[in-house]
Structure 1
Amino acid sequence: MAVPKRKMSRSNTRHRRSAWKAVAPTLVTCANPACGAKHIPHRACGECGQYGARAERRQVL
């Protein structure tokens, strides 16, 4: 098993751990004016099922 030869400083430890964090997802407004719900880009809307400017009615599970 690997064992560190030297003690890691607080700043180095915190700098390494700062990259390991959750990022809030990017949300966009639904293109359907009647809906206006927020959803993940390039995905169908979970409320109305619309994808982009297309007026297709898809069932979202």
Structure 2
Amino acid sequence: MAVPKRKTSKARRDKRRSPNMKMKAPGLSICPQCHEPKLPHRVCPNCNYYDGKDVMES
């Protein structure tokens, strides 16, 4: 089994980890019915419309 000869420095360790730790805000689109922001390809939580149709009875 391979064993490292030297301790990995904090800078080298964190440089490797940093791209995976960045969180991105979700991309939002505007609902064509009520003009509220919503996640793309999902039913609008405000008016329950998707693709111009009422898909959930409220």
TM-score normalised to structure 2 length: 0.69
Counterpart AA for 2:15: H
Q: CA deviation at 1:46?
A: 0.7
Between the two proteins, the alignment pairs up a number of residues equal to: 55
Structure having the higher strand fraction is 2
Root-mean-square deviation (CA, aligned residues, Å) is: 2.2
Identify unmatched segments of 5+ residues in structure 2: none
CA–CA distance in 1 between the matches of 2:18 and 2:3? 23
Flag the structure with more relative contact order, 1 or 2, with Cα contacts below 8 A and sequence separation at least 6: 1
Partner of 2:42: 43
Q: CA deviation at 1:4?
A: 4.3
Identical residues among aligned pairs (%): 38
CA–CA distance in 2 between the matches of 1:8 and 1:19? 18
Structure having the higher helix fraction is 2
Identify unmatched segments of 5+ residues in structure 1: none
